[in-house]
Structure 1
Amino acid sequence: MVHENKHVKNARYVRTVESMFACPVCRASMKVVHYQSLICSNHHTFDFAKRGYINFMNQPVNTKYSKGLFEARRKLMTEEAFFEPLSHAIASAIHAHVAKPKKTSSILDMGCGEGTLLSTICNKVSSRGIRDVIGAGSDISKAGIAMASKNYSDKVWTVADIANPPFKESQFDVILSILSPSNYAECNRLLRTGGIVVKVVPRSGYLKEIREVLFHKATKKYSNEATLERFSKHFQVAEHFRLCYTTRLNPASMKWLVQMTPLTWSLTEEKEMSLAEEISNQITVDLDVMIGISPK
């Protein structure tokens, strides 16, 4: 049996869902050609990378999201189940609010990073009775998407801007925006009738143990009311809840957490190591979860 290149294998999968794509330059329909490229009817061409993802950005974007950060994030989720309660809550919300009965469901994660949360959520949704779950992830970080494509090849992975996602209107039942920026106009364009947006933002207690050591003071209280108000202007709020829990991490896992969080971006590697040793092994995850229904 001939071994297929990674990008050919992924291109074969993308070909099965190519009808969801729209050219980010001219919005024309796109097709997979020779398992090498996605090409629109106006001949704008986007090649599959060796890892199997597609880069739709016109020019490289510099971000602070490094390969090391994404590796730490993936280890924290796969080996410590750091966001397990969150992925469970999101899967439950999808099951509760997406129109049924449905044999196929499509989920887009805008700002997916290295793809672990999207993959986990798709698996949980599938286990709840939806036979076929199509997962797509977009992020401006090529490092994150390359890792996603390497580890989760049964998904569609794109390097793309949330202001110009390469998909046609009304393609998704669910759009995820988890601890990342959102573009609500594009969310509404991409959602099917009755589709939902899941927006997750940190509350004041999120990773408070790190902030208290970094800034030598208790975490200040703040409110997400302005975020909720803006969200409610674009979507019918079906559910809004607080998800708060604590988890214990061993020393190795604590280093992954310190490496993952933007709170430590200004620190040297030596200071990161020192910080990981100072923090209590019990860490707080404190989040606001908003479920919005498309107004279509």
Structure 2
Amino acid sequence: MSKRIEGARRAARIVHALKCPVCGNPVGVEDEGRLLCPENHSFDFAKQGYVNVLTRPACGHYNKELFEARRRIMLDSGLYAPFHEAAADLIREVTLPTDLPSIIADIGCGEGTHLHRVLEELGGLNVAGAGLDIAKEGVQLAARDFHDAVWLVGDLAQSPFADGSIHAILNILSPSNYDEFTRMLAPGGRLIKAVPGAGYLRELREALYSDERRTYSNEETIGLFDRHFRRTETIPLRYTVRLGRAQLEDLVRMTPLSWSPDPKAVTTFLDQETADITVELDLLVGEPRV
């Protein structure tokens, strides 16, 4: 069976949670591998198994090299393993339906590893994953390698998820649209947003920058969250991971921190066999203020 048809069949399992991003009507999954709504808006699955539901051209800031580096470091180093475990624990606390699969949506999924790892942690539960990102290069990698979720290229502002259809939203180091999150969440569902703490990738910041980018404050991001969602819990994650030379190279490639630093600073940072890298994340857990 082709990846295109496999992707369509995975989408059929969660078709109750999908809508047309153009007109808002429910969609069906056609046997030939496409989404189709009653107004005949049609979205074909690609040969890699994902579906592009963008309604207008979009240009992402991230390229294939960045996503491939992110994939390697997450799979090889366990850089975010404590986050994946914590996110799965939070999802287990949600009251999930018994008749249909519970939908876990990763908004800003990139190349898919976060959602893939969380779904692995949730093995045994009747859950289905859906990953959405505007960057086609990332979603292509996700669909190519991870066959445990529905992968969509789309715009969060015109998301393809139906009202009240998502039981847990993951929003990991990515922009938010709280009106859409509120619309999408099922009763009793929760938003899990990961924001960087002041020490996140501290060693990389300090090596590459000499200005205000050496430090980071998440106060504005947290304040925006609190204005739109009722925060029920905050899970702080603070740990270090030792990375080897090749993983340090991927760390530099995967983060926008390295887009415009001093090239000599990059060379100096990479001229070490190993380094301990700090991961500092705050998991904001909340429900809509309605």
| TM-score of the two chains, using structure 2 as the length reference | 0.92
Partner of 2:136: 142
Partner of 1:240: 234
Partner of 1:288: 282
- 1:282 Cα shift? 0.7
After superposition, give the CA deviation of every residue in 1:182-226 in whole Å (9 maximum; x if it has no partner): 001100101000100001111121111111111147975554333
Partner of 1:99: 95
Amino acid at match of 2:18: F
CA distance in 2, matches of 1:57, 1:70: 20
Partner of 1:264: 258
Gaps of 5+ in 1: none
User: In the alignment, is the contact (CA less than 8 A) between 2:104 and 2:129 conserved in 1?
Assistant: yes
CA distance in 2, matches of 1:269, 1:26: 48
Partner of 1:45: 42
- 1:234 Cα shift? 2.1
Residue from 176, 182, 185 that aligns with 1:182: 176
Partner of 1:194: 188
- CA 1:214/1:279 → structure 2, altered by over 3 Å: closer, same or farther? farther
After superposition, give the CA deviation of every residue in 1:215-258 in whole Å (9 maximum; x if it has no partner): 14797555433322321222221101321111100111111111
Gaps of 5+ in 2: none
Q: Does 1:155 align with 2:152?
A: no
State the identity %. Answer: 40
| TM-score of the two chains, using structure 1 as the length reference | 0.90
Aligned residues: 289
Residue from 80, 86, 96 that aligns with 1:83: 80
After superposition, give the CA deviation of every residue in 1:4-40 in whole Å (9 maximum; x if it has no partner): 2110121122122222211111001111123321111
Amino acid at match of 2:33: Q
CA distance in 2, matches of 1:70, 1:263: 14
- 1:153 Cα shift? 1.6
Partner of 1:73: 70
Residue from 108, 120, 123 that aligns with 1:123: 120
CA distance in 2, matches of 1:272, 1:226: 29
Amino acid at match of 1:18: V
Amino acid at match of 1:83: Y
CA distance in 2, matches of 1:8, 1:241: 39
CA distance in 2, matches of 1:187, 1:47: 25
- CA 1:171/1:259 → structure 2, altered by over 3 Å: closer, same or farther? same
